[in-house]
Amino acid sequence: MALAVKAMTLVLCWGGICLGLFRAFGGARRTVLSGTLAGFAGGAVLVVALAAAVPATALAATLRGVLAVGFLLLGGVAVTHLYRPAGATLDISGPAAVPPGRWPAVLTSAAAGLVTAAVGGGVLGALPLGPDRLLPGAITLAIGLTLPFLAVAGERRLPVALLLTGEALLALVVGLLLLLSSSSLGLDLFAPLSMKVMKLIHDFIHQFFESMLIPDHPFFRNDVWTYIGYLFSNSVGFWGGLALWLLPPLLLVLGLLRKPLPSVAHIRQGAQRRKLLASFLRARRWQLVVPWLTVLVLAGAVYRSTHPATEYWDPKPVPVSAGADGTVVLPVKDGERDLDDGRIHKFALRDGEQEARFLVVMKPDGRYAVALDACAICQPEGYGQAEGTVICYYCKTLIPLETVGQPGGCNPVPIRFTASEREIRVARQELVNAWVSTVQAGARVPGGKR
């Protein structure tokens, strides 16, 4: 089901990009068609080759980097668009506002096709391309290569007045690519962005208060931290991230609204003057369609990011207790539970009023990892598992399974243990101490920890 949703998203996004390209380069349809076909096929081949050559995490990082560059480029273009040359008026020349040069058309189309195919390959998780994935891969490629032909026909049905400038085309392509990438945990850009914002606010306030020695101030120590804690919550990161996320298309909208309309003062008859003015206003409204559509598309990407189609593996913690020697013993195989199955297994150790949650997982390298179901940074909302990673429910950070058991960042706090073929042993005191020191220390701050 999740794969079908992702495939549908790929089809919609690639279709939308093709429509935008054909409309923007209205005078060079054949060139755009060649560019999109070559680009999409090339992108598919490239991503398969890269998947065979580099680790999946490196490939995902590369694709995220490409998407981030696109987003930054859109931001730069939007700012430039806002500060237009003095005296420039709204371009009402017609639907094909982008100069229909052959090379710009073919290069833009090929680049869009290449990135879409690469991101689509990453999103569908069809990598590396094994024998079992040849058929789905071939079907996806066939659909991807058919869509430009359908888009040629579809573009002719779009309203004639729908003008697509170069800036609007870039916004549409970047917006749809970000929507596409939001279908994948590994390629989604919004979650890392909102986390960066949250961390920036956190670090700024922390450093500011440290430098002002405010934590030691008698007035601030008890009460004010309660309110300051809200600034550290992930909702601040979400809204801050959302503001940055939607800024480029909103700047494009603002730039269009700020552009003066061509003068109608030379027309004496009132009705004719108003009619011409109305036509200019109508042209501007049509030019605003794509930037507003991009806002919607990016909002959709945010929704997908915060409500991923991925179903996390999140087992209910199994209550455990320590033996007389103060050791928690976890059998590798216990009924239906098998600690060697590569999935995370959660346990809860009760110690008086405290309950320390921890997880055990066998990593892809065949070694066990034992860690708290919490990290040293966020509130202890725990972790889920999907697509070769564990995800922090609080900040949505993805942590590769290979690195679980290592300290730092948002990784689950590692716990020392001993393992044999039949059981894993963890010291009760070690668990409780780790839980208290990492979780309870920040519990009085509502939004997170100091």
Partner 1 sequence: MIIEARGLTRSYAEICALKPLQLQVPEGEWLTVMGHSGSGKSTLLNLMGGLDRPSAGTIQVGGVDLASLDENGLARFRREWIGIIFQQHHLVPYLTALENVMMAQYFHSVTDEAEARAALERVGLGNRLRNRPGELSGGEQQRVCIARSIINSPRILLGDEPTGNLDHQNTRMVLELLRELRDQEKFTIVLVTHNSEVAAWGDRTIFMDDGVVVRDEPRGAPA
Q: Would you tell me which residues interact with partner 1 (CB under 8 A)?
A: 269-275, 277-278, 281
β-pair partners for 360: 345, 370
Q: Which is nearer to partner 1, 153 or 271 (CB)?
A: 271
Q: Which is nearer to partner 1, 131 or 270 (CB)?
A: 270
C-alpha distances in Å from residue 315, one per residue of 59, 172, 232, 329, 384? 30, 40, 28, 19, 8
Q: Which is nearer to partner 1, 226 or 272 (CB)?
A: 272
Q: How far is the CB of 273 from partner 1 (least distance, A)?
A: 8
Q: Which is nearer to partner 1, 207 or 272 (CB)?
A: 272
Q: Which of these, 295, 309, 313, lies nearest to 8 by C-alpha position?
A: 309
Q: Which is nearer to partner 1, 285 or 367 (CB)?
A: 285
Q: How far is the CB of 1 from partner 1 (least distance, A)?
A: 44
CB neighbour burial string for 348-384, b if at least 16 within 10 angstroms, e if fewer: ebeeeeeebbbbbbbeeeeebbbbbbbbbbbbbebbb
C-alpha distances in Å from residue 10, one per residue of 4, 137, 264? 10, 13, 45
Which residues have C-beta within 8 Å of that of residue 337, sequence separation ≥ 6? 318, 345
Structure token pair of residue 405:
């058991």
On whether the CB atoms of residues 260 and 90 are closer than 8 A, the answer is yes
Q: How far is the CB of 275 from partner 1 (least distance, A)?
A: 5
Structure token pair of residue 182:
């939001």
Q: Which of these, 32, 53, 35, 40, lies nearest to 14 by C-alpha position?
A: 40
Q: Which is nearer to partner 1, 233 or 287 (CB)?
A: 287
Q: How far is the CB of 279 from partner 1 (least distance, A)?
A: 8
On whether the CB atoms of residues 390 and 402 are closer than 8 A, the answer is no
- For helices 102-124 and 166-181, what crossing angle results, to 10°? 10
Q: How far is the CB of 291 from partner 1 (least distance, A)?
A: 22
Q: How far is the CB of 236 from partner 1 (least distance, A)?
A: 43
Q: Which is nearer to partner 1, 89 or 207 (CB)?
A: 89
DSSP structural state of residue 313: B
Q: How far is the CB of 263 from partner 1 (least distance, A)?
A: 15
